[in-house]
Structure 1
Amino acid sequence: MLVHPQFDPVALHLGPFAIHWYGLMYLLGFIVFIWLGRMRLGALKQPDRDNKFLDDLLFYGVLGVILGGRLGEVLFYNPGYYFSHPFKILAVWEGGMSFHGGFLGVLVAMALFARSRNIQWLSLMDFIAPLVPPGLAFGRLGNFINGELWGRPTDGPWGMIFPRVDTLPRHPSQLYEFALEGVALFALLWLYSGKPRPVGAVSGLFLIGYGSFRFIGEFARNPDDGIFGLMTFGVSMGQWLSLPMVLAGAWLLYRARKMGPA
């Protein structure tokens, strides 16, 4: 039987300051975003998009991810706790970021960025969609290191005991989501976006891919703490929030197909 290593959430102490693994995972995600983004810029060969463009884009994206992700965690998953401990809302280094909240935050941030640059918003989203999954993968590794978002009990030989939770062997669901939302989704989007596509097609595939992978992964993940747990029809909040993404993605792909080749 596997046992979670119970990593120290602090990766490095620098005097009175502590650098958390969770924060490092986000930093790695942003670094890979820049690296892959420069590769995409080189392949697309659009003169109005350069390294400065990418740096500004990342700045807007970071704000959207952090503000939206944290507010999503507070409002979607655990409002009772955070409203009782309002200062904890600022403690992002302790973990607790909602993808769906971060996604909404990025949509708003990218709309503001596109408006400031006079760029078509959906075309911009097509550009960044393949750059997102590595950040999701690092985020899930951060969840695993922190020993949070553990899985449901299992009697499979791959079951892992999370001693900070209980003595039941559980699915290491963070690693499942790392493989699905991070590795598989990245491969799918990177290959698909390698050829010219109608505006909205890459974004549509991202929504369908993430929503579907998240929906599947949630069957192994323990329902998040808070007031929700399993909801109507025995599905989780994460699954309910993923369904509109799949529907929106299907609509975008249908719309792109009607538009024809890029």
Structure 2
Amino acid sequence: MIAYPHIDPVAISLGPVKVHWYGLMYVIGISAAWWLARRRAQQPGFPWTPAQVEDFIFFTALGMVLGGRIGYMLFYNLPGFLADPLMIVRVWEGGMAFHGGLIGTLAAMWIYGRRHGMSFLELGDFVAPFVPIGLGAGRIGNFINGELWGRVTDVPWGMVFPTGGPLPRHPSQLYEAALEGLALFVILQLFSRKPRPVGAVGSVFLMGYGLFRFIAEFVREPDVQLGYVALNWLTMGQLLSLPMILGGLGLFIWAYRPKAAA
């Protein structure tokens, strides 16, 4: 067993102002994505200006945060939200849902594309390689908060989390940071280095995240307010990931479909 490193969730405290690691991780993730996107925009022949890239990253980041928070309330804690609607603004307490964030990001992409005459799928291909940075950073924030821990285990690296009871558990937040963050980032960076059909990069992101999340859920403790949603093993995270896997596979097949001869 490895001792859980009790890290103060508050990274910076200036009087009444407290900056939590959880929120700071989102800032780090978004800032890193913004920096990498600007670098790509500076490559010769890139069709967007750096200003357009900055606007797009800001717009999608806003959609991600709003969608993630609203999605958490709808998918994972609707009774709590109905009892205390103001909890939606207490983001420092944790509670973001990736699938809600994805919906918010897609909505922001659609609106941005409509306003600027840009292809929705091309926007998705552009932003997809940068998303895992924020995902990995967010999982590190979950780990520091001591939340979303894994199931009870006897593996040598199991940890006793402050709110997880007396038994060691899988540090599933770190598994997800490695899979949804690091591994998916490397896969997408390598895949997007070469020219791909429109929609291909986005499809790999959908399939990759959906598959990694589905696997990680087998060692992650189901949300206490939900438990298993079906078959005594299927979790909400897995249920929401299935459409991503299937949708990504369909988009991948569509992107690589034989093109009709001119």
**TM bucket normalised to smaller:** over 0.9
Spell out the pairing of 1:1-262 with structure 2 (5 A cutoff): 1-43=1-43, 45-47=45-47, 49-226=48-225, 228-233=226-231, 234-258=233-257
Aligned letter for 2:195?
A: P
Q: Is the 8 A contact 1:134 1:182 kept in 2?
A: yes
For residue 230 of structure 1, report the CA deviation from its aligned partner. Answer: 1.0
User: How many equivalent pairs are there?
Assistant: 258
Tell me how far 1:44 sits from its aligned partner: 6.5
1:119 match: secondary structure: coil
Question: CA separation in 1, counterparts of 2:35 and 2:258?
Answer: 31
What secondary structure is seen at the aligned counterpart in 1 of 2:256?
A: helix
Q: CA deviation at 1:14?
A: 1.4
Q: TM-score, normalised by structure 1?
A: 0.95
TM-score, length-scaled by structure 2: 0.95
**Conserved in 2, the CA contact under 8 Å of 1:69 and 1:105?**
yes
- CA change 1:96–1:259 in 2 (3 A) is farther
SS of the residue 2:257 aligns to:
helix
Moved over 3 A (4+): none
Distance 1:252 1:44, change over 3 A: farther
Query: Which deviations, in whole Å up to 9, do the C-alpha atoms of 1:134-172 show, x marking residues without a partner?
Result: 110000000000000000000111111113221110000
2:38/2:54 contact within 8 Å kept: no
> Identity percentage over the alignment?
53
- Aligned residue for 1:199, secondary structure, equals coil
Identify which of structures 1 and 2 has the higher relative contact order when contacts are C-alpha pairs closer than 8 Å and 6+ apart: 1
Q: Deviations over 1:164-212 (max 9, x none)?
A: 2211100000000000000000000000000000000001100000000
